[in-house]
Amino acid sequence: MSSADRVVLVLGGAGTVGSGVVKALLDKGFKVAVISRDSGRLDTLSSFVSPNTKDNLTTIVGNVGSEDGAEQAKQQVLKAVGKITDVVSSMGFSWWQGGPPHTQTLKDLHWVIDCLLYSTFVSWKAFFPLVRDDPNCTYTFITGGAGEKLLMPGTGFLTVGAASTLAFCQVLREEYPNVACKLNQVRIDTGVASSERLAPGFLNHLELGQAVAALVERRSTSHSIFNINCPEDLKTVLFDQHV
């Protein structure tokens, strides 16, 4: 399949990380579908991508955070684009600093786990069957390094939620060792920002998007974790044809 024949569903595609991935995939000639509960964010995404690629972007207002919502969104996407050949999952939020655990409620913890783990699980359950049996297809998770350490005081629930997502990805690699589609994880252990908000050491979301798009395009590895700790690490994914 050429890029023009492939349709990539980017879960979380209206966020900072996801928008960089969406733009890079469109620039490579892929068709891209994005689901979001917020129609305004979808409008912003449509105005952000390259004008000459906008016709290859399909946006769907929907909620992939519940089983019923994810199933409904799946039917909407398939009706709009016909098929899904690749999935990039960049679910959840990039930051949480609500305070130390003893100041939080069970509702707060539920919210964090819902955003970072439950949505990842529910969307995977809905969309993985569309690609799992085809060696020409891919499913790529984008996760963060917060699950392995406390980033700073007050971010404990972010660590708990991120760790649960890392564990879920590990479970999938080991539960599905022989799955046909390319199942990979891009683990980002640094900040990601748009061009106008870049800080020293942060990844530019456009450059990160190019790296993820290159990985999806090649389909040369599976059950691998790509650790991105600094901007230089993106070059490994972008330029190493054996990755």
Hey, which bits of the chain come out as E strands? 7-11, 31-36, 57-61, 86-89, 138-144, 182-188, 192-193, 203-204, 224-228
Q: How many domains does the chain have?
A: 1
The total number of residues written for the chain in this structure: 243
pLDDT in tens, the chain (243 residues): 789 999 999 999 999 999 999 999 999 999 999 999 999 999 999 999 999 999 999 999 999 989 999 999 999 999 999 999 999 999 977 788 999 999 999 999 999 999 999 999 999 999 999 999 999 999 999 998 888 889 899 999 999 999 999 999 999 999 999 999 999 999 999 889 888 888 888 899 999 999 999 999 999 899 999 999 988 898 887 777 656
Measured CA to CA, the distance from residue 88 to residue 47 in angstroms comes to: 21
- Residue 243 has a pLDDT of 61
pTM of the model: 0.94
Residue 45 · residue 53 · CB < 8 Å: no
Residue 123 sits in a domain of what CATH number? 3.40.50.720
Domain span at residue 156 reads: 3-239
Extract the tokens encoding 175.
């539960």
183 phi/psi in degrees, rounded to 5: -110, 110
